Amino acid sequence: MKNYINLIIAFLISISTFAQEKPVKIVFDVTSNDTIVHQSTIRHVKAMSKAYPESEFEVVMYSGSIDMVLKEKSSVAFDLEVLAKNENITFVICEGTMKRHKIDASEIIPGVTSVPDGILEIIQKQAEGWGYIKEGQ
Amino acid sequence: MKNYINLIIAFLISISTFAQEKPVKIVFDVTSNDTIVHQSTIRHVKAMSKAYPESEFEVVMYSGSIDMVLKEKSSVAFDLEVLAKNENITFVICEGTMKRHKIDASEIIPGVTSVPDGILEIIQKQAEGWGYIKEGQ
Amino acid sequence: MKNYINLIIAFLISISTFAQEKPVKIVFDVTSNDTIVHQSTIRHVKAMSKAYPESEFEVVMYSGSIDMVLKEKSSVAFDLEVLAKNENITFVICEGTMKRHKIDASEIIPGVTSVPDGILEIIQKQAEGWGYIKEGQ
């Protein structure tokens, strides 16, 4: 009996060791309409992706942050488009937010993808073990 | 021996499959005194609870967000009271915050419940596997 | 066969019971330059550490919150220095943020420690099971 308990413990330890060794995954939550928040988000993603190239980053924009992804209005359009070309960096805008602001896909910065629901996207990433960072003042 | 390892793996996989299938649970953290944040919180809870009626939502208000639950001051009093009637939506105010602002229970919008400590409530929900969304600009 | 399944279930239940009984661990994320946010963060840590003396608290400051740890500029210098003397309370500033603001270690309030990357610190704490609270309006 004791052997099986040891076996289970060893197995659980091996799972947890594996978990610690894998690269970080971070989902960033951006809801602010403040360009300072948009700029610091880009700075964070740029610095983190440079320091941890094996890691994965996803920036989810919804609620008040719609301007951040608009070609004509974003204060970070250039950097965002360049960063989005990295395989391990994803920028997603909430389709509910697009609809509410009457935004057409053609107005969005190239490379930004969309999800039906920004909050659900974040919660699902959390459930998959991604770290969560709320951007904001 | 190998059979038992397979058994354990199968068991753990079945747990994880079950976890993925169960409806989402989200705790919202509101500390802002900004009515725009109060309104977007209500909009998020309304939209999510409509889209995912099997899920559970809890809005924890503490620190600067006391006005959101006050009958006489809340900009979202009507919607909050209606939403709170749903079995799967809970609004809770921190009793420490009530005390600090000298608020009596009679001043609180009907349907809002209270917890001794807002932060502890959020941390406990996270520990139980609930997703976490910080509301704010 | 059934016996081993029962054994595994009992073992997993015992793990989860243990998890619920251990004291809370909370990492606070502060990026705001707003002194009201600095003051509410200190108020939260003070109240929580008094109520739950067996628990652990870490406040990670980065991005816009640099003033909070500067001897000459912090609006919470005294309280922060006193709280930092507790074994179960840690205040850490991001070295990347210090560099960006050209801050020397001598300008930092005594007791504050530093980490190379504030976001990585927070994500690692989350991965270790710490609860996460974003401070902010």
Residue C7 lies inside a defined structural domain of this protein:
no
Nearest CA-CA partner of A61 in A74, A47, A79? A74
pLDDT at B60 over 80: yes
CB contact under 8 A, B133 and A127: no
φ and ψ at C90, to 5 degrees? -125, 135
ipTM, 2 dp: 0.84
pLDDT of residue C49: 95
Subunits adjacent to chain B (3 or more Cβ pairs under 8 Å): A, C
Q: What is the pLDDT of residues A36-79, one digit of tens each?
A: 999 999 999 999 999 999 999 999 999 999 999 999 999 999 99
**Residue in B34, B117, B123 nearest the CB of C131:** B123
CB A30 within 8 A of CB A65: yes
Q: Count of domains in chain A?
A: 1
C39 belongs to a structural domain: yes
Whether C118 and C134 have beta carbons less than 8 Å apart is answered as no
Each residue of A2-44: pLDDT tens digit?
Answer: 566 555 555 554 444 443 445 899 999 999 999 999 999 999 9
Q: What is the CATH number of the domain that holds A120?
A: 3.40.1260.10
- Say if B42 falls within a structural domain: yes
Instruction: Check if the beta carbon of residue C112 is closer than 8 Å to that of residue C80.
Output: yes
3-state SS assignment for residue C43:
helix
Segments forming the whole domain that contains residue A56: 23-134
User: Taking a C-beta distance cutoff of 8 angstroms, is the pair C87, C61 a contact?
Assistant: no
The answer to whether residue C29 scores a pLDDT higher than 80 is yes
pTM, 2 dp: 0.85
**B124: CB partners within 8 A, 6+ apart:** C24
CB contact under 8 A, A137 and C31: yes
* A129 → chain C, closest CA residue: C127
* Rounded Cα gap, residues B93 and B113, in angstroms: 6
Distances (CA, A) of A44 to A79, A133, B40, C61: 12, 10, 25, 14
Contact A131 C134 (CB under 8 A): no
Alpha helix locations (H) across chain A? 2-21, 35-51, 77-83, 95-100, 118-127
Q: What does DSSP say about strands C56-61 and C25-30: parallel, antiparallel, or unpaired? A: parallel
CB count, 10 Å around CB of A9? 12
Test A8 with C4 for CB contact under 8 angstroms: no
Summarize pLDDT for B26-40 with one digit per residue, the tens: 999 999 999 999 999
Q: Would the pLDDT of C6 be above 80?
A: no
Q: C31 vs A1: CB contact, 8 Å cut-off?
A: no
Complete edge-to-edge strand list for the sheet that includes strand B56-61: B113-115, B89-94, B56-61, B25-30, B131-134
Residue C116 CB neighbour total at 10 angstroms: 10
The neighbours of chain C, by the rule of 3 or more Cβ pairs under 8 Å, are A, B
pLDDT digits over B84-137, tens only?
999 999 999 999 999 999 999 999 999 999 999 999 999 999 999 999 999 998
- Among A47, A52, A132, the residue with its CB nearest the CB of C96 is A47
Query: How is residue C108 annotated by DSSP?
Result: B
Task: Give the Cα separation of A131 and A46 in Å (integer).
Answer: 17
Confidence of residue B13 (pLDDT cuts 50, 70, 90): very low
Q: What is the CA radius of gyration of chain B?
A: 18
- Other CB atoms within 10 A of residue A23 CB: 10
Q: Is B61 among the domain residues?
A: yes
Q: Would residue B8 count as lying in a domain?
A: no
**B4 has pLDDT over 80:** no
* B4, part of any domain: no
Closest-CA residue of B relative to A32 is B137
Smallest CA–CA distance, residue B33 to chain C, in Å, is 7
Is residue A7 in a domain?
no
State the average pLDDT over residues C106-120: 98
* Over residues A104-132, mean pLDDT: 98
Q: Is residue C12 in a domain?
A: no
Q: Name A10's Cβ contacts closer than 8 Å, sequence gap at least 6.
A: none
Q: Which residue has the higher pLDDT, A68 or B22?
A: A68
